Structure 1
């Protein structure tokens, strides 16, 4: 059975302060614990974290053990095993994402998809209009021109702009109903 050196075994020996005790635990057991833990974790950083947590837990509870009956090294291995178990359980609760954040940013959001779909539906409905009606809808609704501005730009009377807008909207409504967008 592995036994630690007497310096760690008894609190009444030369190790008299908590700081000295922690230093002795670290010095005598760190490398062995790290070697043990590296077999069970993926990264060296994670292994170091487990060893640090092990030593911290041991330091917090060192007064609870009777050194004559328990090997410090065995006690540390037990704590390390418990820390590993806690770590594995925590990973199970928080599984690693299966996606890359950059790739996720490139995926269009639901709003982007909805906007693209609406744009396609509107473009399809506009294609069903005559070119005169399409020009009026473009000027009034997409460019935001007034009736007078649209008439001036299209070189037609304002009354014609209003009439074409009325019939264009009516034809768009019929196109949307045919496409199943409106009822």
Structure 2
């Protein structure tokens, strides 16, 4: 990948596009928009693969962060907000049962999240899958910002332990 080998890039796309799309779709439950963001994600992966450091984590985690951040950035864009005001959302990711676009259970995440307390799952849902900032979560739940930060950090540590035991 770092040598910009097209075969390596094709391999990554073939093996990881569905999982990345699923994460993007959790944040942007509009198929066309999620596909557009997925394309942007792979362009970024291609452009910035030189910045990937295997010592800091797995390639999949690095790509997942790019996908999540790109999707969240799109939700914060002016065009997205304007379109959201004029377009009714007719599809709901939670109402789809294994449709064309899959779900978080397709990548084993749902099973792993079930090992967390309900409050922890809710914080992850708001923060990572719906794209709310910690400040927005604090206001929404009526709890101090520091508490939100501490709980999310604790939840991520719990999740890391769960993922380590499920390998």
Smaller-chain TM-score range? Answer: 0.3 to 0.5
Larger Rg: 1
Q: TM-score, normalised by structure 2?
A: 0.45
Higher RCO (CA 8 Å, separation ≥ 6 residues): 2
